[in-house]
Amino acid sequence: MIEFGQPAALWTGLAIGLPILAHMAYRRITERHAFPSLRYIKPSQIPRTGRKTPADLLLLLLRMLIFLVVMILLADPYWSGPELPDKTASGKELVIAVDTSPSMGGWNGMGEAREIANKLIQSTEDKTSVVSFGKKALEEWEAGYDRDTLLKKVTNLNHGWRRGDAQVLAERAGGLFGENSGKKKLVVISDFQRSDWQSVSLNLQQQGVEVEMIRVGVGNETASRFDNRSIVESKVVPAGPGKVRIWTVVRNWSEKKKTDSLQLVIGGEIKDEQKITVAGLSSKQAQFIVPSNEVSQAMIRLANDDPMQLDNQRTVWLKAPPPKYFGFWHDTTSDEQTRSEKNFLGTAVESAGDSGWNRWEEKEDNANELRMGNDDSKLELLLVLGLGNWFETEGLEESFSTFLKKGGVAMITPAEIFSETASVIRNLEWMRFSFTRDEITFENSLTTFAFSNRSCLATARGLLSEKVTLRSPCGRSLPTPIT
């Protein structure tokens, strides 16, 4: 069905009465002609009558049509109806979810997960989909793929390096199934690490989804991770002139007391080493003193052969690390408002850091390289000012999407004509939304987003599997979403 990006503009349709009033009020004016004598003119009674119908009906209709077209254009119409369900879809449907968080790299968890997923794909007759999670994003292979393709995808799965986030799957799982599936089943294959799952709510019974949990990477473990130690925290603090103190916390996840060697590695060489004994299911601190004027980076490492090596080392900066870079994209013919907005946001980002360990620096060259398609441009934050038709004209969609997929963060501000911004976002399918006055409604959006302008702020973060409506807290129109 047809919806409008700016429904408030429909009130301009009342202006259609203007040409009607103009035609009703129009009267012909009799012209005066000089005549030498009225002697031979016979008088007659001509009744005075007012004109009750407009003249030039074709001209009136044309003017009314022009007003209607302008009204519709201002309302920004678009087609956004519910997708018709696939009437041919029926029977059972199976979704296999494989955890790819870093902890799956230990205890042969990833190998077991691939093996179990392969057996499920080969043994079932149901329509099968595969989804991986754990990198704060989802990778999906829908039931339209043949079995050989799904088996190949599963074989190539591997653990990531970012902290796992199982809530991503919990909020997306219900939307992975077809609407007409007779039976829905979700199989989750994971090591169910406590830090990833302790706050997750995976309740899909209301949506008719059967959930089966398969735990991998257990080995001989019964209640907790056996024979694993990890460095859970590392900090650097001043320790006097020209020195810094590296403060480290080592955690023993097993139930037995363990003794390990904690090493300080600088430049690939072991500069210091100390024995550390940690009781079962406990933590212990350790410290190293390092001259900061000679070394800029160091590694703290546990020298043991436990089955989970990913959490056995931490790298720390002894001097201030390089700054994080941000840059701007905007129309090449920028106006005074864009320049003011650029100065305002640039100052805000730079002031968000400090003069030492957390610094932000504007890099116009890096932003221009990214704009020209250089995916290797070092940029952590991209600010797109006045997103409008120029964005599509320059063909920046691919560079922008690649930047986001690689973990970049972008902030978008609206153009002078908001309908241009809304059209770009909708055409590129960054998210599905409808906008009315001070409300904005999202549906099935897979984007982490926020809303802001200089006078008002509203935020929403995470994945949306259901329709959500936000209202501006200051009663004004919400600005452009930030991807």
Q: Is the pLDDT at 193 greater than 60, yes or no?
A: yes
Cα end-to-end span (Å), the chain: 27
**In this predicted model, what pLDDT tens digit does every residue of 215-247 receive, in sequence order?**
888 764 544 456 788 888 888 887 878 788 899
**359 confidence band (pLDDT: 50, 70, 90):** confident
Which residue type is seen at 212? E
Query: Do 425 and 449 share a domain, yes or no?
Result: yes
Instruction: Quote the number of domains for the chain.
Output: 4
Task: Answer whether residue 160 is part of any domain.
Answer: yes
Q: How far apart are CA 127 and CA 207, in angstroms?
A: 18
Task: Answer whether residue 431 is part of any domain.
Answer: yes
Query: Do 96 and 197 share a domain, yes or no?
Result: yes
**In this predicted model, what pLDDT tens digit does every residue of 313-354 receive, in sequence order?**
888 887 767 788 999 999 988 788 888 889 999 998 988 876
Looking at 317, 351, 374, the residue that finishes a domain is 317
**In this predicted model, what pLDDT tens digit does every residue of 135-192 receive, in sequence order?**
666 778 877 678 888 888 888 888 876 667 788 888 778 778 877 777 889 999 998 8
Task: Answer whether residue 46 is part of any domain.
Answer: no
Going by C-alpha positions, the residue among 425, 433, 467, 430 that lies closest to residue 446 is: 430
Q: Is the pLDDT at 475 greater than 80, yes or no?
A: no
Alpha helix ranges (H) inside 76-146: 109-123
Task: Answer whether residue 39 is part of any domain.
Answer: no
Neighbours of 114 (CB within 10 A): 19
Q: How far apart are CA 467 and CA 444, in angstroms?
A: 7
Beta bridge partners of 436: 439
Query: Do 440 and 331 share a domain, yes or no?
Result: yes
DSSP string for residues in 382-438: EEEEEESHHHHHTT-HHHHHHHHHTT-EEEEEE-SSHHHHHHHHHHTTS-EEEEETT
Query: Do 299 and 334 share a domain, yes or no?
Result: no
Looking at 317, 348, 363, the residue that finishes a domain is 317
**464 confidence band (pLDDT: 50, 70, 90):** very low
Task: Answer whether residue 70 is part of any domain.
Answer: yes
Query: Do 265 and 395 share a domain, yes or no?
Result: no
Output the CA torsion 444→446→447→452 (10° steps). Answer: 10
CATH at 260: 2.60.40.150
Q: How far apart are CA 423 and CA 431, in angstroms?
A: 11
CATH at 153: 3.40.50.410
Do 207 and 175 touch, CB atoms closer than 8 A? no
Query: Do 113 and 205 share a domain, yes or no?
Result: yes
Task: Answer whether residue 201 is part of any domain.
Answer: yes
Q: Which residue range is the domain that position 58 belongs to?
A: 1-26+52-82
Task: Look at residue 80 in the predicted model and tell me its pLDDT.
Answer: 63
Beta bridge partners of 439: 436, 471
Query: Do 268 and 296 share a domain, yes or no?
Result: yes
Beta bridge partners of 130: 96, 141
Query: Do 330 and 312 share a domain, yes or no?
Result: no
Query: Do 207 and 237 share a domain, yes or no?
Result: no
Neighbours of 414 (CB within 10 A): 21
Query: Do 385 and 478 share a domain, yes or no?
Result: yes
Looking at 317, 348, 366, the residue that finishes a domain is 317
Determine which of 282-296, 339-353, 370-384, 456-470 has the lowest per-residue pLDDT on average. Answer: 456-470
Cα 303 vs. chain centroid, distance in angstroms? 39
438: CB partners within 8 A, 6+ apart: 471, 472, 475, 476, 477, 478
Task: Answer whether residue 37 is part of any domain.
Answer: no
Going by C-alpha positions, the residue among 338, 345, 350, 419 that lies closest to residue 386 is: 338
CA–CA–CA angle 5, 10, 12 (5° rounding) = 130
Q: How far apart are CA 17 and CA 68, in angstroms?
A: 11
**In this predicted model, what pLDDT tens digit does every residue of 91-136 receive, in sequence order?**
688 999 998 888 788 778 888 999 999 999 988 888 888 888 876 6
Task: Answer whether residue 445 is part of any domain.
Answer: yes
Task: Look at residue 163 in the predicted model and tell me its pLDDT.
Answer: 66
Answer with the residue of higher pLDDT: 402 or 451.
402
Query: Do 400 and 310 share a domain, yes or no?
Result: no
388: CB partners within 8 A, 6+ apart: 331, 415, 416, 417, 420, 421, 424
**458 confidence band (pLDDT: 50, 70, 90):** very low
Query: Do 340 and 471 share a domain, yes or no?
Result: yes
Placement of tokens 């441009």 in the chain: 377
Secondary structure E strands in 279-408: 282-291, 297-303, 313-317, 324-329, 360-362, 381-387
Mean pLDDT value across residues 47-52: 54
Q: Is 184 helix (H, G, I), strand (E, B) or coil?
A: strand
Q: Is the pLDDT at 274 greater than 80, yes or no?
A: yes
